[in-house]
Amino acid sequence: MTEMLSEQKQSLGWLARMRKGLSRSSAKLTGGITDLFTKRKLDDDALEELEELLIRSDLGVTTATKLTQSLANSRFNQEVSSEEIRGALADDMATILEPVAQTISIYQAYKPHVILVCGVNGSGKTTTIAKMAGLFKHVGFKVVLAAGDTFRAAAVEQLQIWGERIDCPVISRPIGSDAAGLAYDALEKARAERADILLIDTAGRLQNKTDLMAELQKIVRVLKKVDENAPHDCLLVLDATVGQNAHNQVEVFREMVNVTGLAVTKLDGSAKGGVVVALAEKFDLPVHFIGVGESMEDMRAFDARAFARSLMGLEVGERGEK
């Protein structure tokens, strides 16, 4: 009964795409490391510089220190090359990331499998929904979209345009309507139409706005009136350029609406996306998707090893190319 997305064929370009996107992130990081270790002793100074490089990639002080420490434990005072250091760091990162690299499982029995998408303003929720819808449709699911951002000007229209492009029905209400009411309607309609998946967009909200978070909780409450297990997934969309505030975002959204997974967007910028490593370590929440561009194809499942190795500017290698 389950159709795992992981079984979909990886379209040829996606690893290349991810690498291209990520290579921008890694160019500076690896450049820095290469400068550091053409072949040099891994002493305190070198370790400190290494730690700083990781911090500069938004890994955060704690994770950066931990990774550097583990490197120090195994190789302190050894002569090491840049390649070795990159490999070792990538391995350590991959170890942290592997448990969270999980594709989203869609249960067709739910009819529909409800995915609520939330996040702060401007993180890329609507675009992510469009990409997900495109992907789900591509693998043969019947998808319905709910334009739950009834606050921001033209947010509904934005999703409608995407809906037309990928040929998905979009359920909407005029701007200013109650988002929870819309979600309720959407779920009933999707159910009546025997849709496989219902993707619900929500307005962007900062996690410290109590009222807006309560509104999000209301959406969840109302969905449960139709299906007590809904939403089956609650996806938090994070912008890769975000710094340590990502921790707060995950923490609060998780507490409020029981986030079940993450999508990380805009990894095609120069932002390092390093925060993903720190988040994986702290929250153990699956990373379902990453976004590496603006077009429909620019989002795929998250591959820990490929991500870690790409981040360090290394070839993705056999395992990643499966």
Partner 1 sequence: MFDSLTGRLGEIFDGLKKRGALSETDVTEALREVRIALLEADVALPVVKDFIAGVRDRALGQEVLRSVTPGQMVIKIVHDHLVETLGGDPQDEKEIGKDSGVDLGGNPPVAVLVVGLQGSGKTTSCAKLANLIKKREKKKVLMASLDIYRPAAQQQLAILGQQSDTAVLPVVQDEQPAAIAKRAMETGRREGYDVIILDTAGRLHVDETMMAEAAAVKEVAHPVETLLVADAMTGQDAVTLADSFHQQVGLTGIVLTRVDGDARGGAALSMRAVTGKPIKLMGVGEKLDEMEPFQASRVAGRILGMGDVVGLVERAADVLDQEKAEKLARKMSKGEFSLEDMLDQFKQIRKMGDVKGLLGMLPGVGKIKQQLEGANIDNSMLAKQEAIILSMTLAERRNPKLLNGSRRRRIATGSGSTVQDVNRLLKQHRQMGTMMKKMGKMGRKGMMPGRGLPPELLSQMPPMKQGPFG
Interhelix angle 82-97/13-36, nearest 10 degrees: 130
Considering the rule CB under 8 A, would residue 207 count as an interface residue with partner 1? yes
Start-to-end CA span in the chain (Å): 25
The candidate with the shortest Cα–Cα distance to 183, out of 225, 146, 229, is 146
Considering the rule CB under 8 A, would residue 269 count as an interface residue with partner 1? yes
Please give the full DSSP string across 123-183, using - where no structure is assigned. Answer: S-HHHHHHHHHHHHHHTT--EEEE----SSTTHHHHHHHHHHHHT--EE---TTS-HHHHH
Cis bond upstream, residue 112 (ω within 30) = yes
Token code pair at residue 94: 């991959």
Figure out which of the listed residues 7, 73, 109, 211 binds partner 1, where binding follows CB under 8 A.
211
CA distance 102 to 34: 32
**Of residues 67-96, those binding partner 1 (CB under 8 A):** none
Of 51-59, 75-83, 104-112, 221-229, the segment contacting partner 1 by CB under 8 A is 51-59
Nearer to partner 1, 27 or 139 (CB): 27
Say which residue the tokens 């805009």 belong to: 266
Q: Which helix (H) or strand (E) holds 86?
A: helix 82-97
Query: CA torsion angle for 174, 177, 183, 189 (degrees, to 10)?
Result: -40
**Of residues 17-36, those binding partner 1 (CB under 8 A):** 24, 28
Figure out which of the listed residues 45, 193, 270, 319 binds partner 1, where binding follows CB under 8 A.
270
Considering the rule CB under 8 A, would residue 151 count as an interface residue with partner 1? yes
CB of 242 to partner 1, least distance (A): 5
Interhelix angle 210-226/245-257, nearest 10 degrees: 40
Nearer to partner 1, 232 or 272 (CB): 272
What number of chain residues touch partner 1 (CB under 8 A)?
A: 47
Of 99-107, 177-185, 208-216, 307-315, the segment contacting partner 1 by CB under 8 A is 208-216
Figure out which of the listed residues 194, 210, 228, 322 binds partner 1, where binding follows CB under 8 A.
210
Considering the rule CB under 8 A, would residue 243 count as an interface residue with partner 1? yes
- Identify whether the C-beta of residue 171 lies closer than 8 Å to the C-beta of residue 147: yes
Considering the rule CB under 8 A, would residue 161 count as an interface residue with partner 1? yes
Of 93-101, 117-125, 189-197, 309-317, the segment contacting partner 1 by CB under 8 A is 117-125
Residues contributing to the site for partner 1 (CB under 8 A): 24, 28, 52, 55-58, 60-61, 120-124, 151-155, 157-158, 160-162, 175, 206-211, 239, 241-246, 248, 266, 268-272, 275, 294
